[in-house]
Structure 1
């Protein structure tokens, strides 16, 4: 039997919750209600586009409610958790809304995750169902789901988008339009989730091993969507293009596809950021705003420089986040792509910062913006927790009406990440300018940020230690002009042993980890440098790999 979600969540203090309500930050409405607002106002407006599939708001609301009732009829209950591993598609959008409406809690996994991550998440959340695609490229997600279901006792159903196979339940029939929309709406309205209850679980970047689960409630997530939508200028005329995995906070709700639905715009789903597909889609759907990580934005800039043309004529705003965008790349966005750059710096744990579309170029191209809410509190502190003046870099602490107070079922992580008073320490090192805009300087935690995907050094090290050849290992970030950082391994070996990068990658694949976590360089050394207290000196290793990369570039 699964435990109630509330047993693992950390609530906001009652007095703060009352304040957030009094000031209108929390509206005490479940997320599905906002979709119905738009459907009531704009029933025939196009809400969602996925290739040849298009849906009006009337149909989206109908499928949302019909899907919610069918999930409940299947045997799922309000407060049950389901693991969602779908690519960007209409199925992802409708299923997510149906879960919100039914009070079922989606755990937002990534299509790139494999057995190692999925089994951990499914077990931690005690999920009762897995929701997967049939295949993505050559990979069979049904086989992966079968392995996870066998390993996790709480799993009872596997819902499959596409060819369900003999063991799966077809997803698409569950998300079909209903026979009596008005009746379904009335029944679901009467049983709407408590607005303070969890709406979904997002995944942390994870600096100390596997991802942690971030509880986002209906109240806090609705506010997140609303303030991000305001900062991004979303309206009924907005056509939002999602190419980043929609299970990430950024393309889901900052403002993302949910922002488009709240505003009455159109959300366009695309499972790939390939420039050719993106540019063709922007032209065909008259996309006005898109989101990318810096590496993707660079590919789009290079493609436009090579191909030319006017395919991006409708694109007014390009949001870039996930990792810091180099200033020189930021300066190319408007001249090359013709769109206004909006830098986004935030975290699935809450705080979102954005430059504004009417900011001067100095702000847009050299900072990562400022908080989207007047209620966001931000401190910049030194290593002793003392507040620093503007212009000095330090660790960022934050709290506010959409920054949760703790991870799900993770008391040890909460002790490290949340300080007295509910301040969340993300591990980012930033500088606050006198105008309030933040400049991201790096991180104070042991994490590699590969194009927006976070890799825990500790997690990779623990797996590499399983290799009999290895005596010591250190995983560090090495600079990369496209992705920002890639993963490099430093190792020492047993006498007489040999080790190749291919051998390490093969072993890690056999453990079932996501491909983006595989190391891309291996450096074998006689000994690893240590600090005065005997810890591996990763600062020295990062400097060493940066020097090696620079020397390699010069030799070419």
Structure 2
């Protein structure tokens, strides 16, 4: 029986378009659990997950998921309900994904490390009915904290049960995940929800005052997002994907729904990233694909000279979250002996990459990322404010806001109708908030975030453009540029730099390098912030620009900078 779509997950894409994408073969048109179940039946003994506890077959993972689904149903969870999941990268997190899908409910994963205040916001705004959380993770008692919040906060009035995942007795006010998994599932019958209804809520990394939540359907995940990964796979070889980012992140949604359900592959999981653990996992488990962010790869490259064995056999390093500089791209390609693919994408509903043979063109503003795939999403460039009122698209090569629509387009924002008004159009397009251009041959060029633009004395500076030029400086391993407030100019630009070992770049050398690269002097950074460890990352694994902006604002006095002309 098809489950009704809750009104808060209203699809902002016309229904006829959704059906046209399915008819064109861009979507499998099955719910996620049905797709997974078909894989389990076809090859029950194949390895589905490898985590710190060992390997889990498709048959065993299915057994755990069905038992948990039956236990959740016994706890009162029904089709259409939202179930939060705050777990590290483990087989338990994957089983939770599948159990919620089997119920016809909607999973809301969010990474461990997000604090109680943010969890309260996510669970409250989504009207979650249950949450599965780690008993203890790196000293934080997530389940106990959420149970306490549910007792004293009116924002969690819909929350019925907190489920504790981990060894030992469940904290007060919690139900044990182990007890639920022991539920007899012999009489359990999986739901068969409409594949165009909500399956998962993706959480952004928090560019708004509160993290955005975006509802995705079964088809948008297995279809649109599944097609993005499909272009990186070798024929007839199921993917074996090592996830260095949390499965609970937007990038991590390519885990259960895409790698397992859509492509019948295997997940290799680390409960947290360290460079040595990542390199050990590549050597031990021989993944075909490694999914992470550029900062992680830079850290791993620094560790390689100290190791006796170099990882080989990869098909691709698949990197998202931020732009990858040319120097790291080429170094990683040599060191790992595989393709290096830099995804452009976001939870809001856009994705583009050039495939395993693509080499980005660094000439011109921003970075080229490839041609949009209609099986993922169509991409257009909307004119910036001030353009003629009758102009719907920016001319070829002219920058504007990137907008997208296609099989991966999400349903809507959750618990935030104002975001639907701001970022969605009447005919289903997503306004990404990214600045970009389409070259004459249809290649997408990404220039930066509109909101990250630093306005210095009335002139716009794209931090991404400056970062791209600084990344080739011989003394720099990693760099982000951020704005900090200034009473005279409004904002100034700071370069936050992680130096290469035994190097200590100064501001003059950075500006000389930019001069040599031909970057206009008005775009040069006016302060240098040396970061002695690594650039900070958000819990979702992305570079934490907000933390660096705060640090720059605190460290630099609000006075005229070196290049205040």
Query: Under a length normalisation based on structure 1, what TM-score does the superposition of the two structures give?
Result: 0.77
| 1:294-333 paired onto structure 2 within 5 Å | 294-304=294-304, 306-333=305-332
State the match for 1:464 in structure 2.
none
1:53 corresponds to 2:54:
yes
Tell whether the 8 Å contact from 2:376 to 2:408 is kept in structure 1 after alignment.
Answer: no
Change over 3 Å in CA distance of 1:527–1:375 after alignment to 2: closer
How far residue 237 of structure 1 moved from its aligned partner, in angstroms, is 4.1
State the match for 1:68 in structure 2.
69
How far residue 525 of structure 1 moved from its aligned partner, in angstroms, is 8.3
Q: 2:221 is paired with a residue of what secondary structure?
A: helix
2: CA distance between counterparts of 1:478 and 1:71? 50
State the match for 1:270 in structure 2.
270
1:391 corresponds to 2:397:
yes
2: CA distance between counterparts of 1:260 and 1:354? 21
State the match for 2:293 in structure 1.
293
Tell whether the 8 Å contact from 1:396 to 1:427 is kept in structure 2 after alignment.
Answer: yes
How far residue 259 of structure 1 moved from its aligned partner, in angstroms, is 1.8
1:408 corresponds to 2:378:
no
Tell whether the 8 Å contact from 2:196 to 2:218 is kept in structure 1 after alignment.
Answer: yes
Change over 3 Å in CA distance of 1:321–1:68 after alignment to 2: same
1:497-538 CA-to-partner distances (Å, cap 9, x unmatched) read xxxxxxxxxxxxxxxxx9965433334889799xxxxxxxxx
Q: 1:371 is paired with a residue of what secondary structure?
A: coil
State the match for 2:163 in structure 1.
159
1:289-308 CA-to-partner distances (Å, cap 9, x unmatched) read 1011111111111111x224
State the match for 1:342 in structure 2.
341
1: CA distance between counterparts of 2:46 and 2:556? 62
1:480 corresponds to 2:496:
yes
State the match for 1:356 in structure 2.
355
Q: 1:421 is paired with a residue of what secondary structure?
A: coil
| 1:111-130 paired onto structure 2 within 5 Å | 111-130=112-131
How far residue 77 of structure 1 moved from its aligned partner, in angstroms, is 1.2
Unaligned runs of 5+ in 1: 452-456, 462-470, 484-513, 530-543, 549-556
Tell whether the 8 Å contact from 1:9 to 1:407 is kept in structure 2 after alignment.
Answer: no
1:427 corresponds to 2:433:
yes
1: CA distance between counterparts of 2:113 and 2:147? 17
Tell whether the 8 Å contact from 1:95 to 1:175 is kept in structure 2 after alignment.
Answer: no
How far residue 26 of structure 1 moved from its aligned partner, in angstroms, is 3.6
1: CA distance between counterparts of 2:344 and 2:360? 17
| 1:460-475 paired onto structure 2 within 5 Å | none
2: CA distance between counterparts of 1:366 and 1:212? 26
Tell whether the 8 Å contact from 1:91 to 1:175 is kept in structure 2 after alignment.
Answer: no
How far residue 311 of structure 1 moved from its aligned partner, in angstroms, is 4.0
- Between 1:435-444 and 1:345-354, the stretch displaced more is 435-444
1: CA distance between counterparts of 2:141 and 2:493? 31
1:72-128 CA-to-partner distances (Å, cap 9, x unmatched) read 112111111122111111111110111011112111222121122111111111112
- Which of the pair is proportionally richer in helix? 1
State the match for 1:231 in structure 2.
231
| 1:273-284 paired onto structure 2 within 5 Å | 273-284=273-284
Q: 2:448 is paired with a residue of what secondary structure?
A: strand
Change over 3 Å in CA distance of 1:292–1:525 after alignment to 2: closer
Q: 2:29 is paired with a residue of what secondary structure?
A: coil
1: CA distance between counterparts of 2:406 and 2:134? 36
How far residue 410 of structure 1 moved from its aligned partner, in angstroms, is 2.1
| 1:70-89 paired onto structure 2 within 5 Å | 70-89=71-90
Tell whether the 8 Å contact from 2:70 to 2:184 is kept in structure 1 after alignment.
Answer: no
Query: Under a length normalisation based on structure 2, what TM-score does the superposition of the two structures give?
Result: 0.76
State the match for 1:35 in structure 2.
36
Out of 522, 527, 530, the residue aligned to residue 553 of structure 2 is 522
1: CA distance between counterparts of 2:410 and 2:543? 30
1:250-281 CA-to-partner distances (Å, cap 9, x unmatched) read 1222x677324432221111122211101111
State the match for 2:195 in structure 1.
195
1:222 corresponds to 2:222:
yes
State the match for 1:95 in structure 2.
96
Unaligned runs of 5+ in 2: 455-462, 468-481, 500-541
How far residue 420 of structure 1 moved from its aligned partner, in angstroms, is 4.0
2: CA distance between counterparts of 1:318 and 1:526? 41
How far residue 194 of structure 1 moved from its aligned partner, in angstroms, is 2.3
Tell whether the 8 Å contact from 2:201 to 2:213 is kept in structure 1 after alignment.
Answer: yes
State the match for 2:518 in structure 1.
none
1:474-513 CA-to-partner distances (Å, cap 9, x unmatched) read 9998443459xxxxxxxxxxxxxxxxxxxxxxxxxxxxxx
2: CA distance between counterparts of 1:336 and 1:53? 28
Q: 2:421 is paired with a residue of what secondary structure?
A: helix
Out of 168, 171, 177, the residue aligned to residue 177 of structure 2 is 171
Change over 3 Å in CA distance of 1:403–1:4 after alignment to 2: closer
2: CA distance between counterparts of 1:197 and 1:421? 18
Change over 3 Å in CA distance of 1:80–1:121 after alignment to 2: same
Tell whether the 8 Å contact from 1:231 to 1:354 is kept in structure 2 after alignment.
Answer: no
Tell whether the 8 Å contact from 1:8 to 1:409 is kept in structure 2 after alignment.
Answer: no
2: CA distance between counterparts of 1:477 and 1:154? 45
1: CA distance between counterparts of 2:353 and 2:178? 36
2: CA distance between counterparts of 1:447 and 1:174? 49
Change over 3 Å in CA distance of 1:110–1:475 after alignment to 2: farther
1:177-217 CA-to-partner distances (Å, cap 9, x unmatched) read 9663xx53xx21xx322222210111134443101221101
Q: 2:553 is paired with a residue of what secondary structure?
A: strand
Q: 1:135 is paired with a residue of what secondary structure?
A: coil
Q: 1:431 is paired with a residue of what secondary structure?
A: strand
